[in-house]
């Protein structure tokens, strides 16, 4: 993310990460993309994620310096302390009790390294930060699953990583503005819960605003699959209606129930007439928000 002649936002920033598995390494990778220098400290046996998916682990740590230290061994502590002396930010993902036993809790580290900012990634918000969990349990606890299907998106891990990045930037910015170095806890379960706001407000429930209530916002069968239509703006919706032979709406995407069903029927008939690829190219030509529905991991065309 270049920021002109001065380079990237975190050029010259030194980050030490003790975080294993996914959220911490994802956050560290993003911080590195912003210019930070990353040292990843792992236990002697390494990050468990390296055993789960070696190619992904290698991609996550690319460009970082990886050190293996036994932090339970007092003779290893001076090496970590030297890293922290020069560090601007520490990222952890262990239980608070484990960090406290190692002398890596915020009060003690802040007393010893007063310029060090600290982001602690935990599963649940304090006082429940000791509760074990992973992405699956965080999504399950806030109603984001549809059993028996497992999630295709590791939402809590990825969203938690982004939250850790924004928390890091906020702490570093506050310090640069003259505040003391600070501490922030990022709870993955709480982050996942925030992604349910649309459902909690009812707008994505069946038949609601984004749950099928608007003909211009939905999924339609094509000849060989499905297309997603998101014509929310009045001009887009009018263009879509015009394309299928319906009259202009008068500047609104809301329609009385009978008219909405007529619109939906017309769209269903229209999109069944050709392939996903055809409609996607047609949408580009007409500058309309319509794309093919792809399988997870297929990516954009």
Query: Final residue of a domain: which of 141, 166, 195?
Result: 195
Q: What is the pLDDT at residue 19?
A: 98
Asked whether residue 185 is assigned to any structural domain, the reply reads: yes
In a domain, 169, yes or no: yes
- Residue 106 CA to residue 182 CA, distance in Å, equals 9
pLDDT number for residue 5: 46
Give this prediction's pTM: 0.88
The reply to whether 219 and 274 lie within a common domain is yes
Question: Which single residue is written with the structure tokens 């690319």?
Answer: 62
The CATH number that applies at residue 166 is: 3.40.50.10540
Cβ within 8 Å of residue 256, ≥6 positions away: none
Per-residue pLDDT, 80: 97
Q: Which domain, by its residues, includes 176?
A: 14-195
Q: Average pLDDT, whole number, for the chain?
A: 92
Report pLDDT digits (tens) over 228-237: 999 999 999 9
The pLDDT value recorded for residue 262 is 84
147, 177: one domain: yes
Same domain, 191 and 69: yes
Specify the CATH number for the domain of residue 234. Answer: 3.30.1540.10
Q: Are 210 and 275 in contact (CB under 8 A)?
A: no
Q: Under a CB-based contact definition with an 8 Å cutoff, are residues 240 and 248 in contact?
A: no
Question: Do residues 265 and 163 both lie within one domain?
Answer: no
Give the end of a domain, one of 195, 229, 244.
195
pLDDT digits (tens, 9 = 90+) for 7-53: 689 999 999 999 999 999 999 999 999 999 999 999 999 999 999 99
| pLDDT value for 277 | 95
Same domain, yes or no: 225 and 189: no
CB 36 within 8 A of CB 91: no
What pLDDT, on the 0 to 100 scale, is given for residue 1? 38
pLDDT per residue over 84-108, tens digit each?
999 999 999 999 999 999 999 999 9
Residues in the chain predicted with pLDDT less than 70, given as ranges, are: 1-7, 248-258, 299-301
- Give me the pLDDT at residue 194, please: 95
Q: Tell me how many domains the chain contains.
A: 2
């Amino acid at each position: 993310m270049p920021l002109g002649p001065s380079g990237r936002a975190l050029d010259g920033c030194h980050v030490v990460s003790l975080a294993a598995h996914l959220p911490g390494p994802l956050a560290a990778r993003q911080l590195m993309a912003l210019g930070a220098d990353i040292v990843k400290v792992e236990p002697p046996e390494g990050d468990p994620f390296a055993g789960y998916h070696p190619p992904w682990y290698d991609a996550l740590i690319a460009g970082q310096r990886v050190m293996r230290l036994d932090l339970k061994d007092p003779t290893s502590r001076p090496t970590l302390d030297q890293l922290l002396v020069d560090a601007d930010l520490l990222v952890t993902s262990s239980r608070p009790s484990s960090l406290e036993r190692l002398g890596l809790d915020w009060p003690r580290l802040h007393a010893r390294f007063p310029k060090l900012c600290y982001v602690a990634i935990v599963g649940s918000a304090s006082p429940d930060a000791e509760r074990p969990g992973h992405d699956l349990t965080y999504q399950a606890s806030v109603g984001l699953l549809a059993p028996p299907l497992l999630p295709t998106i590791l939402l809590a891990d990825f969203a938690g990583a982004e939250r850790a990045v924004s928390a890091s930037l906020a702490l570093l910015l506050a310090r640069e503005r003259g505040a003391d170095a600070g501490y922030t806890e990022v709870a993955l379960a709480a982050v996942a819960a925030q992604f349910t706001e649309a459902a909690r407000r009812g707008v994505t429930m069946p038949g609601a605003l984004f749950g099928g209530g608007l003909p211009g916002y939905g999924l339609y069968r094509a000849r060989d699959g499905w297309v997603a239509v998101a014509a929310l703006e009045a001009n887009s919706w009018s263009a879509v209606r015009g394309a299928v032979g319906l009259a202009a709406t008068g500047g609104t995407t809301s329609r009385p129930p009978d008219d909405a069903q007529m619109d939906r029927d017309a769209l269903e008939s229209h999109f069944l007439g050709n392939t996903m690829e055809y409609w996607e190219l047609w949408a580009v030509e007409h500058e309309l928000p319509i794309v093919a529905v792809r399988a997870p991991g297929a990516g954009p065309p």
